[in-house]
Structure 1
Amino acid sequence: CASPPPPKPRLTDQDVATAVNRLPGFIAAGMRSTGVPGLSVAVVHDDKVVYLKGFGVRRTGETGTVGPDTVFQIASLSKPVSSTVVAGTMKDPSEWDRHTGLPGFALKDPWVTGHVTTADLFSHRSGLPDHAGDLLEDLGYDRAYILDHLRLLPLSPFRASYAYTNFGLTAAAEAVARAHGTSWQKLSADTLFKPAGMTRTSTEFSAFAAAPDHAATHVKNPDGTWSPRYVRDPDAQAPAGGVSSTARDLARWMRLQLGEGTLDGKRIVPAAALERTHLPEIVAQATTPTGRPQFYGLGWNVTYDDAGRLRLSHSGAFDLGANTNVTLLPLERLGIVVLTNGAPAGLADAIAEDFFDTAEHGRPTTDWLPLFASLYAQLDRQDRSKTDYAHPPAGAAPPRADSTYTGTYDNPYYGRATVTADPGGGLTLSLGPGPERFPLHHHDGDTFSYETAGENAVGRTGVFFKDGTMRIEYLDEDRLGTFTRQQP
């Protein structure tokens, strides 16, 4: 039987204009509803920037406003930017299938280590567990330590399972930079940022922090207000989450993406290598709310709509204070990027979905903001312990003497931990190279808890002492969270 005809463009200039005209009101209402302090947005269509505007403030309590050139941390929107960089280094798209060799990087299975490719790691199909290495980053370990210790993690089936891993992608990007005899930042600048005129884009946290016009990261307070309480330095995973940029710069990048690697008449990225990033590499979600499967490409979420049109997207989220979204419809040469300086509240994704929904149907068919807000809230609830460690059970057994628990403990993955007795009473757990210090609160018998911190914090977590070992619930998802006490 004959193949179905290829999809054709369906959106007119007026359709896009209708969606653009709705943006200011929807954004203003969404910012009032969520309280997100600042936002910047760009829309491109037919190789033109048709909307570019900032809203709100860069930092609460100050007067500096957000504009098109305000620098935001873009979190995981870094991934499709980084896959563009890698594509820009290639003469042939088959280079995506080259083995990734990087000193200090190995996986638990030597055969997988010897066969894993750049494409495997950029599409999260290496077999590494979900968010492998992220907890090491939270504890303060550097990139070298993290990549060296990924070899201890259990693997799921190679190229047959999807699990989102920042440090797998980072390893691949670093290997590409090393193969070119340079750093990832210089490779990114020379291959993409400078040729594309992305003058305010960097992969280094220091550049973001030094930019006079940059947006602080904000988290929501219990009373509903927002504060810039944390600083997120993502240098350890720069290719996966460390890019900072502006709406204006990312509009140029979207034009390059939609222009098949050309910008302002100049070829910057080879078309075939870039096109490979847009193809499905693995199923990421077999079922979605739309009923269509979602795939992951090379740094991109890849789907096809009911009309058969390719749709590319990626969100970025720092729980310490940033949320972003980019969505492209290449056949229509249409794209939107939304940058916010608040922890995930659903606003960035809702703006993008509402925009495309309006362009397609003349008006939104769904109330997108509550939907995305509930999805992020659900993810937050899933991460939290099922035990309420803030309230010891009735009749809780008392702890034993402090000396039962104090000492130095070793763990091959998380390194050394110490438990010390405080002069005023109580115990403190120290973890990581810093180290990070966490007061322990007694819960029941030999069970204690502490308040987790960092990008992946989950509230209170349990600490269980037994027979010379200490198991930390929060660190034990991959069964690597047991520490063994050293003999005095």
Structure 2
Amino acid sequence: MRAIPGRRAGRARAFAAPFLAVLLTGASGAGAGAAAALPGAGPPAPEPQLTGAQVDKAVAALDDDVRALMKRTGVPGVSVGVVYKDKVVYLKGFGVRRVGDSAKVDPDTVFQIASLSKPVASTVVAGVLGQGGEKDLGWDTPVAGQLPDFALKDPWVSAHVTPADLFSHRSGLPDHAGDLLEDLGYDRAYVLSHLRYEPLSAFRASYAYTNFGLTAAAEAVARARGVSWEKLSEDTLYKPAGMDSTSSRFADFDKATDKASTHVKNADGTWSARYVRDADAQAPAGGVSSSARDMTRWLRLQLADGRLDGRQIVDSAALARTHLPEIVSQPPAGPADRAGFYGLGWNVGYDERGRLRLSHSGAFALGAATAVTLLPQERLGIVVLTNGSPVGVPETLAQDFFETAQSGKPGRDWLPLIAGVLDKQLNEGRSPTDYAHPPADARPARADSAYTGSYENPYYGRLTVTATSSALTLELGPKPLRFPLTHYSGDVFSFETAGENAVGRTGVTFKDNTVRVEYLDAHGLGTFTRAG
């Protein structure tokens, strides 16, 4: 997620990016050491502070903690893996893959990992760059030329933006640029070719979390190799690392027999598997599926400088670059507060002893929540995968684990605080107008013919309004999606939004041969003009 405050409910897939990462890193002494020092990178990393006995105690507490969090939240299924000193010291599944079915979650159950895809993607790029191909696109090489249809609004930025800029969210693109296009059904190529319409903030001096900015960088690296991103990921990381259940294709997740369905929470507190989330359009940023077993292999590789089972899978120096801060993602609120940083696909934080903590969370509002935290100097890491929309379970479990290792027990009950932050984000971005309840003095609408017809928008494409005997219907997207309109007052209507970025009811205002869709207009791009 972006720094609080966020903007739309669908921003959920970025959860615990800078705000929670800073909160949890600075909350206790559970952090753990810096990555291996690079030449000239400053003082040596702090010595490890945790003992094996301390880690054993934290591992022993996991069963009860997982079950307690599941009972408190109702999350249907959880899978957890812990790596310490290159060994998997904990690997277990809990609960069910799908509510109403008896199949249990196990260490090999495949979950959609959402934004944990980002540090996985940066590992892939590090693996490519470490191979030293002369045609490879480097972290600091402009992507211009690799993606013919990709450009940003400023020509100078278009010519200079690099994979490092896009992986660290410092390109100037606005928060979650392109996500609404994906919700409407547009594919990766369309979204990347239309980012040129998005307004830009200061290049390399501002942070805004963007799934499709990162996707553009990954796609450029893959095209420099002459392969798809999905195949590049397989050949560079998944196959060499023995991550046999991991894929960047939704179809592979969909056909898996041992997979966790996504679930959302109902108003009565129960959970339902109501949605299917195909994230292929942004696969490098949010489309990976994996199991806890596979993710522990990735943790081992991360904590062993790119080595796994005696083989150098990813070059150590190339991997170390991904662990360094590239941009301030969360400025300190006061003199006693710590800043949060974002690296190349990682949240990067430091505790009061200067110890590094790498982390990332992922979430789909439509039903997944995940988290990973690494303490490189301690060679300790945890991954938590769940099949429920974000309510704080992965982040709380990881925080409890590290605090128990450091201090013998958690410092506080983290779940209410974390859940409150996530709930606030899920509900931000909703319209201040209650369209479900028109005013008592609502003005009547004009005849349907005043509104029907086709409208064009260079970013969102065509919008069509049609009339039936019962209602006006708005159509959007390439398929298209159909939204029944409800009259509010005068020339103002509303419809119920849908998809990952849904924000409840949003306004639709007709005026002078134009129609403005409120929730599409966050960046000033939501006005359509009547065609012809």
Could you tell me the TM-score, scaled by structure 2's length? Answer: 0.89
Does residue 359 of structure 1 match 2:402?
A: no
* 1:155 alignment partner AA: L
Q: Which moved more, 1:278-287 or 1:5-14?
A: 5-14
Q: 1:16 aligns with which of 35, 38, 55?
A: 55
Find the counterpart in structure 1 of residue 116 from structure 2. Answer: 77
Indicate which of 493, 496, 503 corresponds to 1:458.
503
**Contact kept? 2:92, 2:106, Cα under 8 Å:** yes
Distance of 2:250 and 2:148 partners within structure 1: 24
1:248 is matched with 293
Higher relative contact order (CA 8 A, sep 6+): 2
Which residue, 421, 425, 432 being the options, matches 1:379?
425
Deviation at 1:95, TM superposition (A): 2.4
- Give the letter aligned to residue 48 of structure 1: K
Partner of 1:271: 316
Residue 288 of structure 1 and its aligned partner are, at CA, apart by 6.8
The one-letter code matched in structure 1 to 2:300 is R
Alignment of 1:324-403 (within 5 A): 324-403=370-449
What does the per-residue CA deviation read over 1:323-353, in whole Å, with 9 as the maximum and x for residues that have no partner? 0000000000000000000001111111111
Q: Contact between 1:75 and 1:323, CA under 8 Å: does it hold in 2?
A: yes
Task: Judge conservation of contact 2:301–2:308 (CA < 8 Å) in 1.
Answer: yes
Give distance in 2, aligned partners of 1:108 and 1:458: 27
Q: Which amino acid aligns with 1:99?
A: P
CA 1:246–1:378 in structure 2 vs 1: closer, same or farther (change >3 Å)?
A: same
Please name the residue that 1:187 is paired with: 232
Residues 288 and 369 (structure 1), Cα distance of their counterparts in 2 relative to 1, 3 Å cut: farther
* Pairs aligned (count): 484
Q: Distance in 2 between matches of 1:8 and 1:469?
A: 63
Deviation at 1:94, TM superposition (A): 9.6
One-letter amino acid matched to 2:277: R
Which structure 2 residues correspond to residues 305-316 of structure 1 after superposition, within 5 A?
A: 305-316=351-362
Report the AA paired with residue 428 of structure 1: T
Report the AA paired with residue 353 of structure 1: Q
Q: Deviations over 1:218-246 (max 9, x none)?
A: 00111111111000000000000000000
Q: How does 1:227-246 map to 2 (within 5 A)?
A: 227-246=272-291
Q: Does 1:95 align with 2:138?
A: yes
1:17-36 to structure 2, matched below 5 A, reads 17-36=56-75
Residue in structure 2 matched with residue 213 of structure 1 by the alignment: 258
Task: Give the conservation status (yes or no) of the 8 Å contact 2:455–2:464.
Answer: yes
AA matched with 1:37: P
Aligned partner of residue 428 in structure 2, secondary structure: helix
Q: Percent identity?
A: 69
Change (3 A) 1:5 1:241: closer
Q: Which residue of 2 aligns with 1:436?
A: 481
Unaligned runs of 5+ in 1: none
What does residue 344 of structure 2 align with? 298
Task: Tell whether the 8 Å contact from 2:152 to 2:195 is kept in structure 1 after alignment.
Answer: yes
Mapped partners of 1:18, 1:384: distance in 2: 44
Look up the SS of the partner of 1:89 in the other structure: helix
| Cα distance in 2, alignment partners of residues 422 and 288 from structure 1 | 54
Q: Secondary structure at the match of 1:95?
A: coil
Q: Once structures 1 and 2 are overlaid, which stretch shifts more, 476-485 or 178-187?
A: 178-187
Amino acid at match of 1:51: Y
Q: CA deviation at 1:287?
A: 2.7
1:376-423 CA-partner distances (Å, limit 9, x unpaired): 111122121111111111211111111111111000100000111112
> 1:5 offset after TM fit, Å?
6.6
After TM superposition, what 4+ stretches of structure 1 lie above 6 angstroms from structure 2?
none
Please report how far the alpha carbon of residue 446 of structure 1 lies from its aligned counterpart in structure 2 after TM superposition. 1.0
Q: Which amino acid aligns with 2:111?
A: F
**After alignment, is 51-60 or 287-296 more displaced?**
287-296
Residues 4, 83 of structure 1: alpha-carbon distance in 2 compared, 3 angstrom cutoff: closer
Which residue identity is paired with 1:329? L
Match of 2:98 in 1: 59
Q: What's the CA shift for 1:6? A: 4.0
What's the C-alpha RMSD, in Å, of the aligned pairs? 1.4
Q: Distance in 1 between matches of 2:105 and 2:50?
A: 30
Deviation, 1:291, is 2.3
Higher mean Cα deviation, 452-461 or 15-24?
15-24
Give the secondary-structure state (helix, strand or coil) at the position aligned to 2:234.
helix
Cα offsets for 1:164-218 (capped at 9, x unmatched): 0111111110111111111111111111111111010000000000000000000
Contact 2:169 2:207 in 1 (8 A): yes
Amino acid at match of 1:435: P
Q: TM-score, normalised by structure 1?
A: 0.97
CA contact (8 A) 2:137 2:224 kept: no
2:521 counterpart residue number: 476
Distance verdict in 2 for CA 1:5–1:117, change over 3 Å: closer
Whole-angstrom CA distance in 2 between matches of 1:354 and 1:399: 56
Amino acid at match of 2:58: A
Preserved CA contact (<8 Å) 1:127 1:158: yes
Distance in 1, matches of 2:450 and 2:96, equals: 52
User: Aligned match of 2:490 in 438, 442, 445?
Assistant: 445
Contact 1:288 1:294 in 2 (8 A): no
Q: Note if contact 2:137-2:221 (Cα within 8 Å) is conserved in structure 1.
A: no
CA distance in 1, matches of 2:267, 2:229: 39
For residue 440 of structure 1, report the CA deviation from its aligned partner.
Answer: 0.5
